[in-house]
């Protein structure tokens, strides 16, 4: 089932322009102020929604991130520390982080200022309910083409499954020429047409990534994320960026293994590759190009601290100790395992950390995996997978 009102809005735009980029289609489908997927009031996450995030699975995910944030605070000199979460979902990650810090790191708790950047009023209302009683620590901020609604900070920008939902352009190689895939209407149905690129940045994107697509290969290009990284670099005086999402380095993302691209839709915990059904009522995502995030970040002063799998990150932060604490509680053990076991979330999700104004930080979550003990733990884990 799709939103008739949203469909009408998209059709009117297509009739006005003749065709629209897939990025325009995806932006309307997900972020239309009234009818978009992320702005509606239906449950979209968790058991009654369309998909799970790591913060929906177990509170230990937020607790371990809190542990990493506390070390970052110490590296910055123990002053005021802003945590800026973009796209906070239901608010559970924020809830778990703040409560763990409150209980385990009282001095750090005094210094934190947690800002949630959220465009959906319905999600803000849900987050407010979950975070009731923490209003002195949490504020809601906005974002526009001019930037964020707060002054530059020292601290950490944090996102968990945010970048994958930013609108993407779709391109294809036709007769050895890079072309763009547009959306139009035929016989009252959405359909695709191929034409010249809408933006020269699309061609530059592959040149800068040193990627050569094959004839007939289809791929996604996230230009929005370049704007997002640019604004983070402007609003982060000193500190870190933690980006957790599913994706790959460019050479893997655009390999022949993903000849048809990575676009995926989620509805009631089922997947589909058709973004033109259930418009406004299904999630649309694409895998993140972490090479692009690193390259652009480095150009803007955000140096790469480290890049790893979520499983490695969580092990380095002590998730196996959390498992030991949960011995005897089979249900809890099984739930926690979902966060890091090979073949699941632990492999699919990657963690990219960047830093600015800090000299060669050595973070707990990025500890050398060859360290005695850690190597054995990981070897044991991979053997069990």
What percent of the chain stands above pLDDT 70?
94
Tell me the per-residue pLDDT of 293-328, one tens digit each, with 9 for 90 and over: 999 999 999 999 999 999 999 999 999 888 887 776
Q: Considering the chain, what is the average pLDDT of its residues?
A: 90
Q: How far, in Å, are 10, 75, 122 from residue 129 at the CA level?
A: 33, 33, 11
Average pLDDT of the residues in 32-51: 80
Q: How many domains does the chain have?
A: 1
By C-alpha distance, which of 380, 185, 344, 168 is closest to 261?
168
Q: What is the CATH number of the domain that holds 246?
A: 3.40.50.12710
Reported confidence tier of residue 120, pLDDT bands at 50, 70, 90 = confident
pTM of full prediction above 0.95: no
DSSP SS3 for 118: coil
Q: What is the structure's pLDDT at 191? A: 96
- Cα torsion for 102, 106, 112, 116, to the nearest 10°? 0
DSSP SS3 for 351: strand
- Cα torsion for 74, 76, 79, 82, to the nearest 10°? -100
Q: What is the structure's pLDDT at 382? A: 45
What percent of the chain stands above pLDDT 90?
72
Q: What is the structure's pLDDT at 236? A: 98
Tell me the per-residue pLDDT of 248-258, one tens digit each, with 9 for 90 and over: 999 999 999 99
Tell me the per-residue pLDDT of 97-119, one tens digit each, with 9 for 90 and over: 999 999 999 999 999 999 999 98
Give the domain range for residue 181: 4-384
Alpha carbon distance 383, 379 (integer Å): 6
The 270-272 sheet, strands edge to edge = 270-272, 264-267, 283-285
């Amino acid at each position: 089932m799709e939103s008739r009102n949203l469909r009408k809005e998209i059709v009117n735009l297509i009739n006005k322009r003749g065709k629209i980029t897939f990025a325009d289609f995806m932006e309307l489908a997900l972020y239309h102020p009234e009818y978009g997927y992320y702005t509606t009031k239906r449950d979209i996450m968790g058991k009654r929604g369309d998909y799970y995030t790591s913060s929906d699975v177990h509170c230990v995910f937020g607790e371990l991130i809190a542990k990493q944030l506390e070390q970052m605070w110490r590296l910055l000199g123990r002053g005021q520390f802003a945590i800026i979460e973009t796209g906070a979902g239901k608010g559970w990650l924020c809830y778990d982080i703040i409560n763990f810090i409150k209980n385990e790191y009282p001095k750090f708790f005094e210094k934190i200022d947690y800002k949630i950047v959220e465009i959906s009023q319905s999600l803000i209302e849900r987050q407010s309910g979950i975070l009731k009683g923490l209003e002195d620590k949490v504020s809601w901020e906005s974002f526009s083409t001019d930037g964020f609604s707060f002054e530059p900070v020292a601290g950490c920008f944090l996102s968990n499954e945010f970048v994958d939902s930013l609108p993407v352009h779709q391109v294809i190689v036709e007769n050895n020429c890079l072309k763009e895939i547009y959306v139009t209407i035929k016989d009252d149905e959405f359909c695709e047409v191929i034409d010249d690129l809408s933006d020269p940045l699309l061609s530059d994107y592959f040149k800068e990534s040193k990627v050569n697509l094959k004839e007939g290969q289809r791929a996604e290009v996230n230009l929005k994320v370049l704007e997002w990284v640019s604004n983070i670099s402007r609003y982060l005086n000193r500190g870190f960026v933690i980006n957790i999402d599913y994706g790959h380095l460019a050479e893997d993302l655009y390999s022949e293994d993903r000849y048809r691209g990575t676009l995926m839709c989620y509805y009631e915990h089922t997947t589909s590759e058709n973004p033109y059904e259930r418009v406004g009522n299904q999630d649309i995502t694409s895998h993140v190009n972490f090479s692009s995030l690193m390259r652009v970040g480095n150009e803007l002063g955000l140096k790469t601290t480290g890049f790893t799998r979520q499983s490695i990150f969580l092990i380095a932060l002590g998730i196996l100790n959390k498992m030991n604490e949960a011995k005897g509680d089979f249900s809890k053990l099984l739930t926690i395992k979902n966060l890091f076991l090979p073949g699941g979330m632990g492999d699919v999700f990657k963690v990219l950390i960047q830093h600015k104004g800090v000299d060669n930080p050595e973070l707990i979550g990025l500890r050398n995996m060859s360290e005695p003990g850690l190597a054995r733990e990981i070897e044991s884990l991979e053997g069990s997978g």
